[in-house]
Structure 1
Amino acid sequence: MTHDLNIVLVHGAWADGSSWEGVIPYLQKEGYNVTAPQFPLTSYEDNIARLREVLDLQTGPTLVVGHSYGGQIMTGLGTDASNVTGLVYVAAFGLDEGETLGTLLSQGPPTPALAHMQIDDRGFAWLPQDDFVNHFAADVDPVKANVMYAVQQPISGSAFEDTMGTPAWKTHPSWYLVATNDEAIPPEAQRIMAQRMGANVSSIESSHVPMVSHPEEVAQLIMNAAKMASK
């Protein structure tokens, strides 16, 4: 079986496209054309430009799926995303107009996964090993979690100050997967973001990286969204 719908997977901070490696085979097996590109995480503008480049390569309608900061990237498409048929947020940021990540995260105490971010001399944020393995990816096999830590891609500190314009979810149908054991983005914050965007909401008992610890369930959610977006 092949599908006309394309699926673009957007990774978040401290990760790269390989964070979707467990999900991709399930989608490909069902005949979807899947792309999981690398994002530079150097600036908000660079990340959105990369997503637009990838979307321009797609032939036909496309479902965009974002994890964590990947939600910020796809939300930043605004209303100018004509071939996008839907947005799937996986434990992801879905800000409203005028909001910043920094403002959202400052509404409570630092979450365990982000409490000890280390900013290097170039202004990029890294996660220390203990926080990454035991909080960011808490339900991932420790061997794999340590590999994820070793290959983490830092994000520019400016990402926490970028102001959201008109969010793409204002004009596109959306789905949201809440990770109930998330120690990076508080689950309650995820529920609030999902509710105000009018998303179809599901939840999973998972750390911040459900696409790694529960790839089959995440793939099924994406495929369900794909079927609904194709109607």
Structure 2
Amino acid sequence: MAAVVLVHGLYHRPGHFALVAEPLRSAGIEVAVPELHRGSLSADTAAVQAVVDSLPEPAIVLGHSYGGSVITGLRGARHLVYLAAFAPDAGESAAGLGGATAQLQDAIDTEPDGWTSLHPGRAADVLYGDCSGARAAWAVGLLRAQAPGCGRGVPERHGWKHTPSTYVVCTRDRAVDPLLQRKLASRCTDVREWRTGHSPFVGRPDLVVGLLRELAAEPQPRLDGPVTNRS
């Protein structure tokens, strides 16, 4: 049985992947959706690594937005999927790479203790602007506050240098600049472009399900060294 691990980004929860996880499970694919928000990139990466290690075979691992920094540090994945995500190189962090749009920055509310949250009305437009009103409201209702510091974490390993990878550029993204996405995509072995906003797992889950089923159907690669990437 193929296995898929879905890794959410900042402010999000595992429940945001429900519209992707259930169709994959119905197709006979094992799906794990770990909870992040462990306080640091290294802690988030360790939590996902534990899930990957617990599976009976190497998994396809998808990271969304900040989740890309998390999956970059993993070992033992079969394929990495970066969905409008950060794919840092040595010494780089999500925060250092930039790319956050002015719309996203305007949507962030900062508390005196450094925690941040997304203003519900602005979040709907920035993250789910291409979704129906009801679906966007559902997704906004799941958002949670975020402790400071995760985005400044630097991965200790760079999995896209050793593992086949696919980058999905979301060309109508209002949160992470598509220009930065295309730059990061050049590091991966395959690139797709979707005319979606930042969160296709909410607005166009069929696209995400289709890509993951396609990758699950491919023969599992045998890697003995670095992969040949586009960069």
TM value normalised by structure 1: 0.88
Residues 180, 203 of structure 1: 8 Å contact kept:
yes
* Among candidates 79, 85, 108, match of residue 92 of structure 1: 85
After the TM superposition, which residues 1-231 of structure 1 pair with which residues of structure 2 at under 5 Å, given as runs? 3=1, 5-77=2-74, 81-82=75-76, 84-105=77-98, 110-195=101-186, 197-228=187-218, 230-231=220-221
Question: Deviations for 1:95-131, whole angstroms, at most 9, x for unmatched residues?
Answer: 11111222221xx674312334122233222111222
Which amino acid in structure 2 is aligned with residue 183 of structure 1? R
Quick one: percent identity of the two aligned structures? 28
In 2, the alpha carbon distance for the partners of 1:85 and 1:76 equals 14
Amino acid at match of 1:230: Q
Q: For residues 8-63 of structure 1, give each alpha carbon's deviation from its aligned partner in whole angstroms, at most 9, with x where no partner exists.
A: 11111111111111111221222111111211252112211210221122111211
Between Structure 1 and Structure 2, how many residues are aligned? 221
Q: Distance in 1 between matches of 2:188 and 2:140?
A: 34
* Alpha-carbon separation, structure 1, partners of 2:48 and 2:25: 20
Mapped partners of 1:100, 1:229: distance in 2: 32
Q: Partners of 1:111 and 1:41 in 2: how far apart? A: 27
Matched-pair contact (CA < 8 Å) for 2:52–2:58: no
Pairwise CA distance, 1:220: 0.6
Change in 2 beyond 3 A, CA 1:109/1:51: closer
Dislocated runs of 4+, deviation >6 Å: none
Measured in 1, the distance between the counterparts of 2:175 and 2:219 equals: 29
Query: Residues of 1 paired with 2:144 and 2:196: CA distance?
Result: 22
Structure 1: which 5+ residue stretches go unaligned?
Answer: none
CA deviation after TM superposition for structure 1 residue 208, in Å: 0.4
Per-residue CA deviation, residues 140-187 of structure 1 (Å, 9 max, x unaligned), is: 222332232232122222123222333111111001111110011111
> SS of 1:87's equivalent?
strand
AA of the residue aligned to 1:98: G
Gaps of 5+ in 2: 222-231
